[in-house]
Structure 1
């Protein structure tokens, strides 16, 4: 009789607390789609496929997961698609979600989505072709000051992103009016480098992970990096401060969902992404691409986006 009373009491406690025999049920058990709002091989795509790989290989998700590339308008098409979804769809984002709106290129804002996580940051670099006569970022800026239209500068996927903004901020520091610079926009970093090698442009600005593969192939020179100090992995690459310009600039990427996601869904992704960034495979990814760990959960990301919106408004209005 005593044993029977204990069992009944336990079941009552579970019912009162809203528990079940599986106390932590997965919210997402069917197919998940991650939108990479760019072509294959870009930073957004690389981030999406890395998440896909780790969630599958580490058994962090019960359902299937796929990556869908929605290309166009500097992320706009992919993010518009994400906003319209009600099923399990997430999208990779970056500061371009904020700057597109500030530049009047999009009506979308970060407030149109559910923040899921901020994942990592990386540094910006300036590159030239291997046989370019440009030997340093300092000489580049000095030449641009004399003749602003002397060099064509490549950027992707849209004006107003961190690639362009980091170069603009450096040029301001050098006393060069940014509006006199000639920027040429390409769909992705691969097209930028292709134009660089074909002499269609003279200089390019992009993230380190996008540029490094071409550097490793001995196709480009890295003139400068936006980090505070030289990287141990690339000790030969000087910082902007070493080139006489006080600039430290980090580019971040994160992940978000459609509006009106439920509390349970948000908690599920907090738990799942939180586990992902603890895995050895994620740490290896950070090391491989020289990304910096910058994980923030949903609520932390919400505050971070508010801060970033104010920051970019100042940077782009100054």
Structure 2
């Protein structure tokens, strides 16, 4: 009698949920590829590999997950590849997906994909070589104001990303015009730092996670961070606000899929990634790279991307008006 009741309850639960656990899993292929539209070691790549490792180690996905690096055109080549796929391919994204389009560098927009999640945010930093005579962000901006072409500024992977935009916004606070600054673009942050150490550029702007290993190795100095207050982990690094420049700037990263993903596929990733961001492994990843948790599910991400699109469009219009 008891056995029949258990079976009946199981069937009832399956009926209510709409599918069995096996059927639920079958909406996703046994092999999933996460595209990092950058070289190994970059921010997109780091995010992709963190997701891969945690989904496997925490047994949140019982198939194979591969990370595919498709490098070029500031993320464009990787995103084009994903946009042409039918299933089982995801991609890491960031605000560059929005700004590429606004700057006329891409026909793609976030509307050409299926939003899956926003995962984390991180802060931007400005760095110089350890032996540089630039001692602070304030002195850097003061010198640039006097002679805008005095310093070469390195960044990656493309103009219009948050690395450049955060620096431009800080510059505008002291009266610098974006077109007066000399930006040099490299494929990834490793190349930027290499150029910095070889004196090919004088200063660089990038995310904290990308810069920290070089800081820990004593190769670079962190002049300033775009946070609202000093970080507990790096109490010696001042904020832009402390340097007299009213800028607080967060850089986000998310994940998206090709267009026309099914409702079942989206729901699967909503459930899976929500579980992932609650794991201790993900919390350790956030701590390791000094990222801030910023998880948003698929519907929240769609709304967020719409808001970000409007925000960046407004920023670009302001820049054009100033020019």
Query: For the superposition of Structure 1 and Structure 2, which TM-score range results when normalised by the shorter chain?
Result: over 0.9
Q: For residue 256 of structure 2, what is the aligned residue in structure 1?
A: 256
> Do the aligned partners of 1:225 and 1:239 also contact (CA within 8 Å) in 2?
yes
1:5-53 CA-partner distances (Å, limit 9, x unpaired) = 9799769857864756548721324100000000000000000000000
Cα contact 1:28–1:62 (8 A) shared by 2: no
Give the 3 Å change call, closer, same or farther, for CA 11–302 of structure 1 in structure 2: closer
Q: 5+ residue gaps in structure 1?
A: none
- Per the alignment, residue 217 of structure 1 pairs with 217
The match for 1:281 is: 281
Where do residues 42-191 of structure 1 align in structure 2 (5 Å cutoff)? Answer: 42-191=42-191
Cα offset, 1:176, TM superposition: 1.0
Helix, strand or coil at the partner of 1:234:
coil
Contact 1:29/1:61 (8 A) holds in 2: no
Alignment match, 1:242: 242
CA distance in 1, matches of 2:209, 2:171: 23
Q: Compared with structure 1, are the counterparts of its residues 132 and 33 closer, same or farther at alpha carbon in structure 2 (3 Å cutoff)? A: same
Is the alpha carbon distance of 1:102 and 1:142 closer, same or farther for their aligned partners in structure 2, counting shifts above 3 Å? same
**Distance in 2, Cα, partners of 1:120 & 1:8:** 42
Alignment size in residue pairs: 317
Contact 2:14 2:20 in 1 (8 A): no
Long gaps (5+) in structure 2 = 319-323
In 2: Cα distance, 1:178 partner to 1:21 partner: 56
Partner of 1:25: 24
Q: Given the two structures, how large is their TM-score scaled by the length of structure 1? A: 0.95
C-alpha deviation, 1:201, in angstroms: 0.3
Aligned CA-pair RMSD: 2.0
Give 3-state SS (helix, strand or coil) of 2:149's partner. Answer: helix
Give the match for residue 266 of structure 1: 266
Q: 8 Å contact 1:60–1:276 — kept in the other structure? A: yes
- Please tell me whether the aligned partners of residues 123 and 207 of structure 2 are also in contact (alpha carbons under 8 angstroms): yes
**Could you list the per-position Cα deviations for residues 37-94 of structure 1 after superposition, in whole angstroms to 9, with x for gaps in the alignment?**
0000000000000000000100000110000000000000000000000120000000
CA distances 1:240-270 after superposition (whole Å, capped 9, x unpaired): 0111100000000000000000000000000
TM-score (norm 2): 0.94
Cα deviation, residue 231, structure 1: 0.4
Q: Is the 8 A contact 1:14 1:20 kept in 2?
A: no
The answer to whether the 8 Å contact 2:156/2:189 transfers is: yes
* Change in CA separation of 1:87 and 1:20 when aligned onto 2, cut-off 3 Å: closer
In structure 2, the CA distance between the partners of 1:18 and 1:216, relative to structure 1 (3 Å rule), is: closer
C-alpha separation between the residues in 2 aligned to 1:29 and 1:274?
A: 19
Q: Check conservation: 2:152, 2:202, Cα contact below 8 A.
A: yes
Deviates more, 1:56-65 or 1:26-35: 26-35
